Structure 1
Amino acid sequence: MGLAARTAVVSRVTNETKIQVSLSLDGGVLPPYEPTTHWEAPTDPQEAEAAKKGIVPEKGSGHATQFTPTQQVTITTGIGFLDHMLHALAKHSGWSLAVRAKGDLFSTYYIAKTKKKKKQVPITNLFTAVDDHHTTEDTFLALGTAFTQALGARQSLTRFGRGDAPLDEALSWAVIDLSSRPYAVINLGFKREKIGDLSTEMITHGLESFAQAAGVTLHIGCTYGDNDHHRAEAAFKALAVAVRTACSRRLAGEVGAGDVVSTKGVL
């Protein structure tokens, strides 16, 4: 008898963001997104029919889309480096993952100019700037929610996982416990304010948000590295290795199969 599929489909809708996630912890074909009015349905009849059965990548979805015989990954959050990190996490954890987001990433400036002594004097009447915070935070919260739903009853699991990943001169590590006790300690030692359009502080906060929604204890660090892109990417790859180990299931006949891996008998 085959193992039950571990999949989840989640929508997170707030005043600032609209996020949809489809996740399979074991790869393979993804279930379709939940019906929504926040994205236009495909106009092509074949694409519309396909979208009812599974994930159809958004047109122009970019580099973070990769469909193979064993994995489906397509990420479009509006923040390129966030897409890149989630792609790395999904690929190396063995997930299939689709994420699409609409967030308040825009900035609007209204400038009025008046003449004064033959000079143009700029006067700011209104300044509205919205950053990457809400989109990143809500994406990780939605992903964490999908993760814990897909995981289901925390039985037959390895539970603990550690991953180490190098990227050129950088070396990062991650340790995870599927504990149902949310906690996160993230120390990646970034030197830059941003990597692409993603604030480095939001990498830390995003991972904390994931741990909160996923119900996991998470420790991630970077041992060394000169390049912040490499530090971050190595960290997400290390997390992927840790997640893949922790989520692996003990099969019938193995010690721990069917058990909750805890001396308390509950997670």
Structure 2
Amino acid sequence: MTVRRVTGETNVELSLSLYGTGRADLDFPVPFLRHMLHLFAVHGRFDLTVHATGDVDVDDHHLVEDIGLSLGRAIHQALGDKRGIRRYGERHTPMDETLARAVIDLSGRPAFVMVADIPDQRIGTFPTELTREFFKSVANEARMALHLAVLYGENSHHMVEGLFKAMGAALAMAVEVIGDRVPSSKGVLE
């Protein structure tokens, strides 16, 4: 599934295969997010390509948010009518001293909760507050309920990395094809 988002602030082209091998081709000027999306792809076994530019001379916010929106849209479109998928996914992921959790419901109803006390304001040049903005954007456009938590930890890098790994693995579980019906008592998932 390929998504293109062009605004006055960013230009994002993103391709996603939910049933891939974990290959990532990432070309955009936010190094820490490139690292995190590589981990997301590997741990979800997704094939992900992101080529993007944006007004990072202002700050990273617009580009991070728009990549998140594009990823969420690609997830939603790739799932179609969601026939046969598991729908729910959950993963606890340790990252050294940190334990992160991601729980997903591909319900068609966007909801986002993140409980994480990340101690540092920046990881390298990356503002840690953008972690929340990125995941919220993904959840809204994917129309998923996404609950993230850092249960404990000390190192900010490990905390954010744990969240991305957990989210990738939880999404891989949720999109696993296990049957031939839409997993809803209503018979439809939007």
Fold conserved between structures, TM > 0.5: yes
Q: Distance in 2 between matches of 1:224 and 1:139?
A: 28
Q: Once the 2 structures are TM-superposed, how far is the Cα of residue 72 of structure 1 from its aligned partner?
A: 2.5
More helix by share: 2
* Residue 180 (structure 2) aligns with: 258
Report the alpha carbon displacement of residue 135 of structure 1 after superposing the two structures with TM.
0.4
Contact 1:26–1:94 (Cα < 8 Å) also in 2: yes
AA of the residue aligned to 1:260: V
Quote the Cα distance in structure 2 between the aligned partners of 1:78 and 1:146: 21
> Counterpart in 2 of 1:44?
none
CA RMSD of aligned residues (A): 0.9
Q: TM-score, normalised by structure 2?
A: 0.97
Residue 207 of structure 1 deviates from its aligned partner by: 0.1
1:168 is aligned, of 86, 90, 96, to: 96
**Unmatched segments (≥5 aa) in structure 2:** none
Between Structure 1 and Structure 2, whose CA radius of gyration is higher?
1
1:100 is matched with which residue?
A: 51
Question: Of 118, 123, 136, which residue of structure 2 is paired with 1:190?
Answer: 118
Shift of 1:133: 0.7
Within 5 Å, give how 1:220-235 maps onto structure 2: 220-235=148-163
State the secondary structure of the residue aligned to 2:114: strand
- Which digits, 9 at most, give the CA deviation of each residue in 1:224-266, with x for residues without a partner? 111000000011111111101100002xxxxxx2211111111
Q: How many residues align?
A: 189
Give the 5 Å matches for 1:54-203. 70-106=21-57, 130-203=58-131
Identical counterparts, % of pairs = 43
Q: Is the 8 A contact 1:188 1:232 kept in 2?
A: no
Are 1:13 and 2:6 counterparts? yes
Which structure 1 segments of 5+ residues have no match? Answer: 1-7, 28-69, 107-129, 251-256
AA at the equivalent of 1:249: V
The answer to whether the Cα contact below 8 Å between 1:176 and 1:243 also exists between their aligned partners in 2 is yes
Measured against aligned partners, the alpha-carbon deviations of 1:105-148 in whole angstroms (never above 9, x if no partner) come to 11xxxxxxxxxxxxxxxxxxxxxxx1111000000001111111
Alpha carbons 1:156, 1:260 under 8 Å: kept = yes
1:218: which partner in 2?
A: 146
- SS of the residue aligned with 1:157? coil
